[in-house]
Structure 1
Amino acid sequence: MEVLRTPEECFDNLPGFSYSPNYIDDLRGYEGLRVHYVDERPKDAIRTFLCLPGEPTWAYLYRRMIPVFASSGARVVVPDWLGFGGSDKPVDDSVYSFDFHREMMLEFVERLDLQNVTLVVQDWGGILGLTLPMDLNGRVSRLIVMNTAIPVGEPLGDGFQAWKEYVANRPNLNCAALMKRACPHLSEAEALAYEAPFPDQRYKAGVRRFPQLVMIQPGMGGIETTMRARLFWAEVWEGESFMAVGAKDPVLGVPVMSQLQKTIRGCPEPMVLAEAGHFVQEWGEPVALASLKFFGDIS
C-alpha cells in the first residue's frame, strides 16, 4: 500500500489551533498507519468527549468547541480519519471503504480505552460515529449530534446528488474554497487550514471517496451496519442526547435532522442555529456551552 504522510510544517501556525499532536501507529489491523489525534486531558478527568469530524475536514473543525468541553474538566479527544488531517493517507482511492474507516475508529477507542464517552458527531463523523456505540460495550454514555444522517440505502435528495457529482468532477477539490463558501465568517487563514493536510492531489483520495460511499442505493457497503444502528438508537439507547442543527445546510438540514431526532430514543427538540450551515462546529462555542448546560456539566 502506498501511503503519504503530510509534512509537519504544513500544520505550523494554524490560527486558533495550538494543540500538540498525538500519534498512534499500532492499531490492530492498521499497523504502520499513523493516526493523528488531539488529546486535551485535564488531571482526574472522569468524562471524555470524543469528537469526530467528517468530509473534507479534520480535527481543526473542533477548535471552537475543544476549549469549552475541556473547561468542564473533561478529556477531549479528536482523531483524524485515515486520509484526513494529520493522519496517514493511502494513495489508492479503493482503499477507503465504510468498514475501513469504522474498524479503525473502533480500534482507536479500544486502544485508548476511552470510557464514559460523550460522542460528538457531524457529517461522516455521524454516518460512521452513530454506528460505534452498539459495538463499544457501554463506553458511550451521551451524544451530541449535528448535521448528519444514518443512511440505509435510500436517496438523500437532489442536493446530495449534486454534491456527489461536484466532488467526482474535482479530484483536487479545493477544501479551503469549499469551507469559505460554507462558512463565510472564516478568515482566509482559517479556510486555508482545511487545505493544509493536502500538499497536492495525491493526498486527497480519502476526500474523493467519502461522497461516493454514502449509502443512497440498496446493496452498498455498510447498510447492514447502519440498519442495525437505527434499531440501536430507536430501541436500545438509554443515554442522554443533545442535537444542534445548522439551518442553512441544503442537504442535511432541519428536515433530515428532524427525522433523525425521531429515530434517537429520548432525543429532545434540537437547538437550531439559523445562521449556521453544514459545518455547525464553525459556530461551535454556543453549541458546546448549551450542551454542557443541558447535561448539567456547568450551571
Structure 2
Amino acid sequence: MQLLRKILFPVSLIYALVVYVRNYFYDRGWLSSKKFTTPTICIGNLSVGGTGKTPMAEFIIKRLREQYKVALLSRGYKRKSSGFLLANENTSVEEMGDEPFQIYSKFRNISVAVDADRQNGIAKLQSLISPEVILLDDAFQHRKVSCHSYILLTPYDNLYVNDWYLPTGDLRDARNQAQRAQVIVVTKCPKNLSLEKRKAIRGKLKPKANQIVLFCYFEYGTMLLGKNEISLQEINFKDITLVTGIANPKPLVSYLKGRGLTFEHLCFADHHYFSGDEIRELNSKEFVLTTEKDYVRLKDKVANLWYISVEHKFYEEDEGVLLNEITAVIQQNS
C-alpha cells in the first residue's frame, strides 16, 4: 500500500492543485459562503478520518446540552437515504449513518440531523427546531457555510504539518487552511505527554496569535457495554474477536494489548456495512468486542456483542479553555 501511494505521487500534485484553486476562489469571494444567524461551530480536520471528531462532538454536547438548545448536523456518510433527515425514534442507522445515529442514541435531548447540503440543513434546523447552537460535524471543507467558530483536530501521530495530499498522504485539504481555525486540538496524545513535548508540537504547528492549541488523549471505558455490562478483567479467559470498522484502530488495539488481552482482530474499512456472510461469521464467535460506532450497526445482528466506550480527556486547564471559547462564541452571536 505504501509503495502504491508513492507511485501515485503525481496524482497527489493534481489533487493539491484542485484544492488550492478551490480555496483561492473562496478566499477571494469568487465562490460565496453563507453565514447564518444561529451560532455554528464546526468540528473538522484536514485529513481523512481518524482524528476523533465524533468523540469531540460528544464531549462538547455533554457540556452544552444543559445550558443551550443544541443541534448537530452531519453529512451522514454512507447513509442509505438522501436529502435532509431529522432523527426520531423510528429512524434507523442505515438512514442516518453510523456516527450521527450513535450521537442521537446517546443524546435524546438534542436534535440530530443529516444533510449533505449544509446550507439547507442549517436552514431546516432553524425553521423546525430553532436551536441556540448548531454543531457541524466534519464540515471544515464545506466552505459554502461560514461558521462562527472552527475547531480543527489533528492526531498526535500524524500532524497535518507532517502530512501530504491524497492519495500519497492523508490530507484532503491544504495545510494553510488551518489558519481558519480558532482552536487546534491535538488528539490521541500519550496520556503522560510532557509540557516540553507540547511546546515542541506548538512550535511545529506555528499557530497564529489568535489561535489556541490544546491537547487531549483517549480514555477508554473499563466496563464493556452491550446487553449487559462486563469488565475487561472478566473477559481475560474468553476467546475474543475484536471487530473494527473505523479509520484508525491502532490506539484501541494498543490499549487492549496494554491491558494484557489476547484477541483476533478483524479489521474493516471505515463505515463498513457488514455482509450476511460476515454477520454469520461474527455470530460463530464466542465474544465479539467492537467500537461504539460499529456497535450501532451490529447490535441487532450479532448475539455475543459488546463495545468499549472512548472519550477525549484534556490536560489540566485545556478543557476549560475550550469550553470558554465555545461559550463566548455562542454568547457573542446569539
TM-score (norm 1): 0.36
Please identify the structure whose Cα radius of gyration is greater: 2
TM-score (norm 2): 0.33
